[in-house]
Amino acid sequence: MSMFGVMFRHNDGYPIVLTSEIATASDTFGASVVGFASAIPENYFRRRIAHMFFRVSSDREGRVKRAPYGLAKVEATLLHYGFSRSDVVIASPYKLDRVIGPRTRIVGIYTMDALGLSYGSGILYWILKLADLPYRGLPYIARSFMEVVEHPAIKAHKDHIKVVVGGPATWQLVDTGAWQKLGVDVVYEGSFENYGPVLFERILKGEDVRGRVVNSKPPSVEEVPTIVTPSIGGMVEVTRGCGRGCAFCTPTLNGMISSFPFEGHIDKEIITNIEKGGFKSITLHSEEFFRYGAKGIDPNPDKVKELVVKAYKLIKRYGEDYRLHTDFTTAAVVVQAPELVKFVGEYMNEGGDWSFIEMGIETGSPRLLNMLMAGKAKPFTPRQYPDIVEQAVGILNDNRWVVVGTMILNLPGERDEDVAASLELLDRLRKYRILTFPLPFIPMGALRKRDFTVLDKMIEDPLRRELILKALIKSMEEAVRSVELIVGNMENIVAKLIIRRISLFAFNLVLSRYKAKLGQLGEHSAEFIRKLASAAWDISKSPVRIPIDEANQ
Ligand code: SF4
């Protein structure tokens, strides 16, 4: 029975159909870490091959068995609001024709990289270009967004359907103005829980809602319901927001940190993922895991320990081989609470296991940090930041975490001395187990003009090219060493062997080319870098903060 109190046949369609681009909908054989392949451009991924790789498990009707976490939350919110499972479906993007019909009023598409302008797509562009490998067409993730938004079932029913797009990549559609051309009616930005259902109800009542909807008010913890459909990667959100205030961060993450309770929330989602989703590995998702339960910048170790022990006991009820992980941290909190990191490591990396953890390093320049993300270093100072990063990576390695560290290039106000300071930091990190990913910041002005030559300009500049090459060499060396971890959770043994082999071949190929290229192009001397970087320690002359949007006009 639907919320509207009527029974209907499902070939009439569901009133609300939720889906996402194919690459995002897929759990790539159970190892979402392999999902970075979604940024590979079309000339390597023919449609048929891509569809074989990016599989989506669903029932005959088209309802998925596992969904991207954000989409599972949207569904949960709608159900909590009063809609029923006869009103709402999370559908496989391959089976939209089975769920869209005369009764459908809303198709909600969740996107991670609609136009291929994310950091992930940018780095893949550099990886291929610097290895002299051809790059043609769109990143597959963006192509797969087009496949969904231009799906024949949507076109056939467009006269009574509103296409609503949400998710982390909506800014791409807004900043380029592409949403209108793609037939999108509403671009939804911000948290869904405390406004989304109201908007959907207005659309269902026939209101002609169009344009950009921004909900900047974060929901309270009580307003966030638990997921009903298991989430890809066995993901369970334990905190939302971070509060460190980086200028380039999305508003959803930039709000003050709030933590979900274990009983009745986190435990329920773990059980859903294990019992319905079939996961043996649970990821406690947070922008800053070691600050779970914190009220301000300082961590609250007792709360984190309590959470880890409770979650660990719960998963072990299902078997000894069930595992617990987390995904993000900052450097500062690790250095603030090394004992806590050790405690958590004993549970998450038990029995000598290693796992990945992501850490946004972003820059080695105190000057740039002070301008754009001073909160990242707190309670330490921007001038201490490079030391904090090195210490944090060491502490995480000691507790068997391989760090995935990102460094952003081309941030507004970036000067050569900032790049030199990042090169110095990179050099200090060489002895640790870390993948250092250089990410391109694409200014909004360039986005509006679709001027992506900005990526080429960065690799033509000798200093920036040296940073990108050295960071990629370090990443590929560590990727070769960590290949078992990369394919670790893959459920299909044959696929695992194939992907492992292809990955090793690809990592070694690009690695040898980068080394040859760095040899040909030459490196700046350590003395030159040191002198240049010294100016990045002078934070007295830098403005306290650059508003990032204005800096990019
Ligand atoms: S530390 Fe990360 S999550 Fe927090 S505001 Fe900065 S970029 Fe956003």
Q: From 3.20.20.20, 3.20.20.140, 3.40.50.970, 3.30.750.200, which CATH number describes the 355-540 domain?
A: 3.30.750.200
With a CB cutoff of 8 Å and minimum separation 6, the contacts of 300 are 291, 292, 293, 294
Range scoring the smallest mean pLDDT among 55-59, 131-135, 388-392, 535-539? 535-539
Residue 370 CA to ligand 1 center (angstroms) comes to 14
Digit-coded pLDDT (tens) for 411-432: 989 999 999 999 999 999 999 9
Centre of ligand 1 to C-alpha 247, Å, is 9
How many angstroms does the Cα of residue 383 sit away from the middle of ligand 1? 19
- Can you tell me the mean pLDDT for 502-527? 91
Residue bearing the CA closest to ligand 1, atom 6: 246
Give the confidence band of 217 by pLDDT, cuts at 50, 70, 90. confident
Select the more confidently predicted residue: 7 or 132: 132
Q: Of 3.90.1300.10, 3.20.20.70, 3.30.750.210, 3.40.50.2300, which CATH number belongs to 232-329?
A: 3.30.750.210
Mutate to test the pocket of ligand 1, among 244, 327, 358 (most ligand atoms within 8 A of CB): 244
Q: Which residue has the higher pLDDT, 111 or 540?
A: 111
Q: How many CA atoms lie within 13 A of 526 on its CB side?
A: 5
Q: What is the mean pLDDT of residues 197-205?
A: 96
Mean pLDDT of 76-83: 97
**ipTM, two decimals:** 0.99
d(CA 109, ligand 1 centre) in Å:
25
Q: Which atom of ligand 1 is nearest to the CA of 254?
A: 5
- Fill in the amino acid letter for 45: F
Residue 109, strand partner residues: 19, 165
Q: Where in the chain is the domain with CATH 3.30.750.210?
A: 232-329
Per-residue pLDDT reduced to its tens digit, 380-393: 999 999 999 999 99
pLDDT of residue 547: 47
pLDDT at 550: 40
pLDDT at residue 552, rounded to an integer: 39
- Range list for CATH 3.40.50 in the chain: 10-215
- Where is mean pLDDT largest: 113-117, 132-136, 312-316, 479-483? 312-316
Q: How far is the CA of 246 from the centre of ligand 1 (A)?
A: 6
pLDDT band for position 489 (cuts 50, 70, 90): confident
Other CB atoms within 10 A of residue 519 CB: 9
Residue 253: pLDDT over 90: no
- When pLDDT is averaged across residues 200-225 and rounded to a whole number, the result is 92
CA nearest ligand 1 atom 8, residue? 249
CATH number of this structure's domain 10-215 = 3.40.50
Q: What token pair was written down for 415?
A: 């000067």
Mean pLDDT for the chain? Answer: 91
Among 287, 359, 406, 548, name the best residue to mutate to test ligand 1's pocket (greatest count of ligand atoms within 8 A of Cβ): 287
Atom of ligand 1 nearest to the CA of 244: 5
The pLDDT, as a whole number, for residue 541 is 57
Can you tell me the mean pLDDT for 40-63?
Answer: 90
To test ligand 1's pocket by mutation, which of 237, 250, 254 has the most ligand atoms within 8 angstroms of CB?
Answer: 254
Rounded to an integer, what distance in angstroms lies between the CA atom of residue 119 and that of residue 224? 28
pLDDT band of residue 452 (cuts 50, 70, 90) is low
User: At 337, is the pLDDT very low, low, confident or very high (cuts 50, 70, 90)?
Assistant: very high
Task: Find all residues with CB under 8 Å of 188, minimum gap 6, and list them.
Answer: 164, 165, 166, 170, 196, 199, 213, 215
Average pLDDT over residues 156-182: 93
Ligand 1 pocket by Cβ (under 6 Å): 242, 244-246, 249, 253-254, 287, 330, 360, 373, 376
Q: Are strands 239-240 and 258-259 parallel, antiparallel or unpaired?
A: antiparallel
Which of 248, 249, 333 to mutate for ligand 1's pocket (most ligand atoms within 8 Å of CB)? Answer: 249
pLDDT over threshold 50, residue 551: no
Residue 251 has pLDDT above 80, yes or no: no
Contacting residues for 222 by C-beta, under 8 A, at least 6 apart: none
Express each pLDDT in 16-37 by its tens digit. Answer: 999 999 999 998 766 655 667 8
pLDDT band per the 50, 70, 90 thresholds, residue 307:
very high
Ranking 10-14, 57-61, 117-121, 378-382 by mean pLDDT, the lowest is 10-14
**Percent of the chain's residues with pLDDT above 70:** 92
Q: How far is the CA of 493 from the centre of ligand 1 (A)?
A: 37
Question: What is the distance in A from the centroid of ligand 1 to the CA of 250?
Answer: 8
Give the lowest-confidence range in 27-36, 149-158, 363-372: 27-36
Q: Based on the number of CB atoms within 10 Å of its own CB, is 321 exposed (0-12), middle (13-18) or buried (19 or more)?
A: exposed
pLDDT for the residue 398: 98
Q: How far is the CA of 187 from the centre of ligand 1 (A)?
A: 23
